[in-house]
Amino acid sequence: MSTSRSYIELSRLDTFIERYHYLELKGILGETTFGFDRWVNQRFYKSHEWKSIRDQVIVRDQGCDLGILGYEIHSGLLVHHMNPISLDDIKHGEEWIIDPNFLITTSLQTHNAIHYGDESLLPRGPIIRKFGDTSLW
């Protein structure tokens, strides 16, 4: 594992934007990750072992984007590896790729923002209303 981002460290960050910055990879759009070996990671993501750990992570994060209450995900929910996985990680059965400490629930938009470094893709937080506020957002 090249970096060591973890849920334990992430959970110490209070705001959505802090968590985003902790996770962002600033990747290059279209950069190949698995290329012609994409079938390997697709098989991994269809495995019983992955599906089981994925469900546990979603429950832990209460179905919320980056595990932040108020950022409930209603569609496009993903479980993201905080540290990018490689073909060798899957082939050698590295245990960390199914360790909840290295996984987080994200929306598709947040997942893309993490990979491509595009903050404009991030969801807006809940709108805080106050007395006398008559603006409709």
Q: What is the dihedral of CA 41, 31, 98, 88, to 10 degrees?
A: 70
Q: Each residue of 18-63: pLDDT tens digit?
A: 999 999 987 654 455 677 788 888 899 999 999 999 999 999 999 9
**Could you tell me the pTM of the whole model?**
0.84
Token digits for 79? 């479980």
Say if CB 122 and CB 134 are below 8 A apart.
no
Neighbours of 67 (CB within 10 A): 20
Crossing angle of the two packed helices 16-23 and 108-116, in degrees rounded to 10: 50
As a whole number of angstroms, the distance between CA 44 and CA 51 comes to 9
